[in-house]
Structure 1
């Protein structure tokens, strides 16, 4: 019997959340690596050793990881697909769980590619978009659909933003309605780059994307390249747009559309900075807002001088389209 050994990198605070998520999917046999518990053990058990293995201490540094095992077969790959989608949901709901990076140790990359990809199929979103996994783009049915739809080609990889989650779908549907030819777009918390790339495919002339996770740099640029988008129209930055002055300067201002598909707490924090990013007549599109935080986020946006023009909801998640109150007719 062949098994897949899988790891989810998180934080000390996120360990219980990740365990609960896996348990809900029927995965209860997990192994926990946690630096805080390791350091606590070291501090309280000096009497049992004369020295600590430096290599072990180095391996544990900064690590909070959940390891679990799935049988390598159809059932295991189906469960793995569910885990990936649940991680997207977890990323949207929680800010204290770290990267939630999913990795695999005991399986050849070729085997992985030949199995998990079957669970990601082309998705029609809204009236115009078709999200196409990279390996499906030559399918005759996809080519037929693209006679009437705009393709958005993605390699899901292990980052967030595949179009599967309600928050991403809400944003993509909104982009179809509001992107104007020649507009400029800022994508805050870009992940895979799906929103800014979609905006460019829908007619935007330039987009700048930013994410605090530097892994998103390569992923977003690779996804852009698959869609025929180059660095002459698309820029991806790594850093915190709220506190990193270098990132702020590189980002620039005067965007016709600012999008943020993150989480409620970050949108609240961003609400005061959005005005400085938007051009006159600009719009702010935000999503990733769970239903029990929607009114709190709405109040923060209104308090920051923004007016909510549209509210949309899907599966308990909200998306707001805003303008400046001062620009209301």
Structure 2
């Protein structure tokens, strides 16, 4: 049998998190190369060397790697496609873990860039939504189609936190709402809100490439800039962005990470219209209670809690 050798580059701090991420994808047999082992080897084996090439030291600096193997067949390619898509969202949620670049041996990059697409299929989410990759056609069966290019950036609907948000969002959008999407990524949540009937949406992210990506995904769905605004910046520190965003939102979304949600919590209530809700997700289970406590401390009432695959979301008011 032929095998695909897959590498994910990280750093020492990211090894445990990446290993847990792969385990959640059903991959438990991995090989770990830790940068600290290289330095420990040098430190404990002085008798065997008196010079280390500077290029080698530079190549090893700050770099650790996890390697795993998949069969080079349809099942292996399907698993690889799922990991690739999930890794995009994992990378957005975990800064400080190095590049999180995935590379492959025994497979040409050009082949991968095209072949992985056949394993990304449309997904029914909740009662009303159907997420469809750009290159695929699907019978909507009365559902609201949400067309995305999963290769553009993070935010595809495949991650549990995004599904939690979309499922809750379709319960909260009835028509005419103003929506604010904080940490928008691909724009999937705010675009979905508009497709479900929201009157307008404002989205922002600290990553500047998200502005281009979100507008591209909006165009795929026939959503124009007359009702959809995307900006780059940090709402907690960017005064100009704060002024442009304004207040009076019926739904405020934040599908990010626990630390950012905690930081945002005190700023949320002034953004909400009367009766508006704050929908936050991206909260790993071992921090769910901590986040809930901080939301309450910020004066928010938790109306609803959802969980899936070890992730939590809250609807607050």
TM superposition score normalised by structure 2: 0.80
Instruction: Mark the CA change 1:207 to 1:8 in structure 2 (over 3 Å): closer, same or farther.
Output: farther
Corresponding position of 2:97: 97
Corresponding position of 1:254: 248
Q: 1:43 Cα shift?
A: 12
Corresponding position of 1:112: 112
Q: Secondary structure at the match of 2:77?
A: helix
Contact 1:253 1:276 in 2 (8 A): yes
Instruction: Mark the CA change 1:129 to 1:20 in structure 2 (over 3 Å): closer, same or farther.
Output: closer
Distance in 1 between residues matched to 2:103 and 2:52, nearest whole Å: 35
Q: Secondary structure at the match of 2:266?
A: coil
Segment of structure 1 superposing worse, 80-89 or 259-268 = 80-89
Q: 1:232 Cα shift?
A: 2.8
Corresponding position of 2:83: 83
For structure 2, list consecutive stretches of 5 or more residues without a partner in the other structure.
Answer: none
Distance in 2 between residues matched to 1:131 and 1:301, nearest whole Å: 30
1:321 paired with 2:315, answer yes
For structure 1, list consecutive stretches of 5 or more residues without a partner in the other structure.
Answer: 324-329
TM superposition score normalised by structure 1: 0.77
1:152 paired with 2:136, answer no
Contact 2:30 2:66 in 1 (8 A): no
Q: Secondary structure at the match of 1:298?
A: helix
Segment of structure 1 superposing worse, 229-238 or 261-270 = 229-238
Distance in 2 between residues matched to 1:178 and 1:202, nearest whole Å: 10
Q: Secondary structure at the match of 1:135?
A: coil
Matches within 5 A, 1:139-218: 142-143=138-139, 145-146=140-141, 148-157=142-151, 159-218=153-212
Contact 2:33 2:64 in 1 (8 A): no
Q: 1:78 Cα shift?
A: 2.8
1:298 paired with 2:292, answer yes
Distance in 2 between residues matched to 1:95 and 1:51, nearest whole Å: 30
Distance in 2 between residues matched to 1:249 and 1:63, nearest whole Å: 41
**Aligned residue among 27, 47, 70 for 1:25:** 27
Contact 2:85 2:150 in 1 (8 A): no
Distance in 2 between residues matched to 1:63 and 1:221, nearest whole Å: 34
Q: 1:132 Cα shift?
A: 0.8
Distance in 1 between residues matched to 2:18 and 2:130, nearest whole Å: 31
Deviations 1:161-180 (A, max 9, x none): 22122221121111111124
Distance in 1 between residues matched to 2:255 and 2:5, nearest whole Å: 31
Distance in 2 between residues matched to 1:215 and 1:105, nearest whole Å: 29
Distance in 1 between residues matched to 2:54 and 2:129, nearest whole Å: 56
Q: Give the length in aligned residue pairs.
A: 312
Q: 1:100 Cα shift?
A: 3.7
